[in-house]
């Protein structure tokens, strides 16, 4: 494109990076991020969120945590959906302490999980047989003004039956 006189800006990089991420081609997406930084451009919040979602889908949670740190350092916020994927993935992977840290980081950023997000988090804990952590999560959930719905209670009952 450059050879033909076209200027590549952040929005074009963003479209390309998002396309690579949607097709789970993380290395190519990261290469473009590196390329744009070499040209003095900063990735947008949307670009970072695309990368974060891709990392979570691919199970590359250490890289996802690193991206969250970079975003926060640059004053950008991951989408709540990205955080949910990351926290659940970390629990499923067995990185419980990292998952807890990210979870509490979300709350300290001013986000508040909705009913569906709480259910997803509880489900992630139950898949790792972390029933005690679910109890702690329920307490936090109620402190934040969100009441468990019948589906959440059903998940908890199923989890208790498995233990």
Q: The CATH number of the domain where 49 resides is what?
A: 1.25.40.10
CA distances from 118 to 32, 87, 121, 132, 152 (A): 35, 11, 5, 15, 8
Question: Does a structural domain hold residue 48?
Answer: yes
Predicted local confidence at residue 4, as pLDDT: 66
Residue 82, phi then psi, degrees to nearest 5: -65, -45
- The predicted pLDDT at position 1 comes to 56
In a domain, 109, yes or no: no
In a domain, 120, yes or no: no
Domains in the chain: how many in total? 1
- Of the pLDDT bands very low, low, confident and very high (cuts 50, 70, 90), residue 85 is confident
Domain coverage including residue 22: 1-82
Residue 152 maps to a domain: no
- Domain presence at residue 38: yes
106 within some domain: no
Question: Distance from CA of residue 75 to its chain's centroid?
Answer: 16
Residue 4 lies in a domain: yes
Per-residue model confidence (pLDDT) at position 115: 80
Domain-located, residue 54:
yes
pLDDT digits (tens, 9 = 90+) for 2-55: 566 678 899 999 999 999 999 999 999 999 999 999 999 999 999 999 999 999
70/48 Cα distance (integer angstroms): 9
């Amino acid at each position: 494109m450059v050879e033909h006189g076209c200027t590549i800006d952040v929005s074009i990089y963003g479209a390309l990076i998002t396309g690579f991420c949607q097709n789970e081609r993380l290395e190519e997406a990261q290469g473009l991020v590196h390329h744009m930084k070499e040209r003095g451009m900063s990735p947008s919040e949307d670009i970072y969120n695309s990368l974060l979602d891709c990392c979570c889908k691919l199970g590359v949670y250490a890289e996802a945590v690193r991206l969250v740190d970079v975003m926060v350092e640059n004053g950008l916020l991951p989408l709540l959906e990205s955080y949910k994927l990351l926290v659940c993935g970390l629990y499923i992977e067995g990185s419980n302490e990292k998952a807890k840290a990210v979870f509490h980081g979300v709350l300290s950023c001013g986000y508040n999980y909705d009913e569906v997000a709480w259910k997803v988090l509880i489900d992630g804990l139950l898949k790792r047989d972390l029933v005690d952590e679910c109890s702690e999560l329920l307490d936090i959930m109620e402190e934040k003004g969100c009441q468990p719905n019948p589906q959440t209670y059903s998940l908890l009952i199923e989890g208790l039956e498995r233990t």
